[in-house]
Amino acid sequence: MIRSCLFIPANNPAMIQNADLFGADAVIFDLEDAVAVEEKDAARSLLREYFKVFAPAARVFVRVNNAPEWLLPDLEAVFSDKIDAVILPKADAAACGRLREALLRLEKERRISKSIGIIPLIESARAVLAADSLASLSGVVGLMLGAEDFTADMEIERSKSGEEISYPRARIAIAARANRVIAVDTPFTDVNDEDGLASDAARARALGMSAKAAIHPRQVEIINRVFSPRPAQIEWATRVLEKSKAEKGVFSLDGKMVDQPVIERAKTIIEKAKRYKLL
Amino acid sequence: MKKGVCGSLESSDCLITVEAAEKTEILIESSVYQFYGEQIRKVIETTLAEAGRAHVRVSCVDRGALDCTIRARLLTALSRMAEK
């Protein structure tokens, strides 16, 4: 259960060593777009040495390069039991299969008992249509939307309102939910527009996204707030669960019907509130 | 002359330059040399030994790098030197 995933350039020691200080539920050490081609080797080495001495409290994801000449060197260099999942850019089923195979081999060779997950990055029209099958692949623990590449593929403009990504968001969220994996929303790229970020995150959440990526530490708090249960929701859920103990079957609260789906919703809110220390 | 460079002069980083030399030589420039100079030297010596490298001149311009960063930058610089 996560709300925020903060991208951290894998060749930036100052950010890497402070990864836990930004309050993100997960950190994404980025070996792909955040690292220049001529610095890939330095980033891999830095991350490998970092993993030897640090154990972040946040969930740890690594975004690798999907190019054939870089994927295996990335994995070979940084593979560690500190990693929870690998984010695969421009994912399709074949690439996910190759990644899964490589991870299983490394888990065996390096004798780690942990299973490292895969989060396909959905960045094309084809991948959006394949979201359900990608989410159902062995080893996949989440889906992430990459809106910049997706809209480039669609030859459509990105907007602040995000109307153009409503469909992929919804499709990815539903595919993720159907397969019981997380759905991570694309980052909001204007780091100076906090209101815009809050609105964008709220739209993603309303469509079923379970978390959102951040590209700057200052975005983390806003994302965490939007993806956390609100005080009124926690208060309502508490009352629903208290009354459900005394009632059998359907009952009424504040003049509204409460049945099993409503009770389940209340349980989820309380579970999240406890997880995020809001109770 | 074979040379490898890695790192930066950004805060928490270090810039490592390695080049072939007749004997191992380590030069360190750091604003915190008085407190951490020996530790930086130890990390460089240990990393060189583990990598089986001798006869290199190592220059480290430190900007407050942690041991793991110094080690990573040195290993990459050595690798880059070997590729040239």
Residues of A with CB under 8 A from a CB of B: 12-14, 17, 41-42, 45-46, 48-50, 52-54
- Mean local confidence (pLDDT), A257-266: 94
pLDDT of the residue at B1: 67
pLDDT of the residue at A279: 87
pLDDT tens-place string over residues A156-189: 999 999 999 999 999 999 999 999 999 999 999 9
Interface check for B76 against chain A (CB to CB < 8 A): the answer is: yes
Chain B hits for A49, Cβ within 8 Å: 68-69, 71-72, 75
pLDDT of the residue at B83: 86
Kindly identify which residue of chain B lies nearest to residue A47, measuring between CA atoms: B72
Distance, in Å, from the CA atom of A250 to the CA atom of A240, rounded to the nearest integer, reads: 11
Average pLDDT value for chain A: 96
Which of the residues A15, A17, A35, A45 would you substitute to probe the B interface, choosing the one with the greatest number of B C-beta atoms within 10 Å? A45
The pTM of this model reads 0.93
Task: Give the minimum alpha-carbon distance from A212 to chain B in angstroms, rounded to a whole number.
Answer: 28
Fold entry, domain A4-226 = TIM Barrel (3.20.20)
Three-state secondary structure of chain A:
CCCEEEEEECCCHHHHHCHHHHCCCEEEEECCCCCCHHHHHHHHHHHHHHHHHCCCCCEEEEECCCCHHHHHHHHHHHCCCCCCEEEECCCCHHHHHHHHHHHHHHHHHCCCCCCCEEEEEECCHHHHHCHHHHHCCCCECEEEECHHHHHHHHCCCCCCCCHHHHHHHHHHHHHHHHCCCEEEECCCCCCCCHHHHHHHHHHHHHCCCCEEEECCHHHHHHHHHHCCCCHHHHHHHHHHHHHHHHCCCCEEECCEEECHHHHHHHHHHHHHHHHCCCC
Task: Give the minimum alpha-carbon distance from B23 to chain A in angstroms, rounded to a whole number.
Answer: 26
A42: nearest CB among B6, B11, B68: B6
CB contact under 8 A, B68 and A41: no
Please report the number of interchain residue pairs, chain A to chain B, with beta-carbon separation below 8 angstroms: 46
Task: Give the minimum alpha-carbon distance from B24 to chain A in angstroms, rounded to a whole number.
Answer: 23
- Mean local confidence (pLDDT), A96-109: 96
pLDDT tens-place string over residues A8-61: 999 999 999 999 999 999 999 999 999 999 999 999 999 999 999 999 999 999
CB contact under 8 A, A41 and B79: yes
Domain that holds residue B74: 3-83
- Mean local confidence (pLDDT), A249-253: 91
CATH of the domain at B68: 3.30.230.10
Q: What percent of chain A has pLDDT over 70?
A: 100
A45: nearest CB among B10, B67, B75: B75
> Quick check: A147 pLDDT over 80?
yes
Indicate the number of domains in chain B.
1
pLDDT tens-place string over residues B23-52: 999 999 999 999 999 999 999 999 999 999
Q: How do the domains of chain A map onto residue ranges?
A: 4-226, 231-275
Kindly identify which residue of chain B lies nearest to residue A40, measuring between CA atoms: B76
Task: Give the minimum alpha-carbon distance from A118 to chain B in angstroms, rounded to a whole number.
Answer: 26
